[in-house]
Amino acid sequence: MEPHLTTNPKLLSVLEVLKQREPIFHRPECGTSHADFENMTVDDFWEVGASGKTYSRECVISTVVKRYEDPNYVKEDIWKTTNFHCREIAPDNYLLTYTLFQGHEQRKTRRVTLWRYSEGNWKIIYHQGTVVQR
């Protein structure tokens, strides 16, 4: 059973902004180029993939850029996000969690992204996806 998490009402505007940016790197309106992805991540960004493997900023960015450059890449895959929760963990640093269903809900992952708001920009510090066994 999924826990019922409630975002502090003071953070609802932050929650709404971040929901529009997730899943990260899969929102073409936020950018699709190497420079765009560099601008949305901190220099020491890293992620843990659903496989449990760790990936550097450059590895993640180059992989995503290749996908967008591939004319056969389906950019409008069937993805559904639910159960968003936002918590401020330090001034202007936010932990965003949510559930992602991919491909007609055949793959379910829980996601966590650490976001920082600095100098008028949102930057991703860390991201992780964990597959949920059904």
Q: What are the structure tokens assigned to 51, written together?
A: 């496989």
The answer to whether residue 10 scores a pLDDT higher than 90 is yes
pLDDT band at 117 (very low <50, low <70, confident <90, very high): very high
Per-residue pLDDT at 114 exceeds 80: yes
Sorting pLDDT into bands at 50, 70 and 90, what band is 40? very high
Asked if 44 and 57 touch (Cβ cutoff 8 Å), the reply is yes
What's the sign of the alpha-carbon dihedral 92, 44, 62, 47?
negative
Select from 3.90.650.10, 3.10.450.50, 3.30.1130.10, 3.30.1510.10 the CATH code of 9-131. Answer: 3.10.450.50
The full set of domain ranges for the chain reads 9-131
Q: Which of 120, 129, 104 is nearest to 22 (CA)?
A: 129
- Per-position DSSP letters for 70-97, written without gaps between them: -TT--TT--EEEEEEEEEEEETTEEEEE
3-state secondary structure of 37: helix
Q: pTM score, two decimals? A: 0.91
- pLDDT for 102: 87
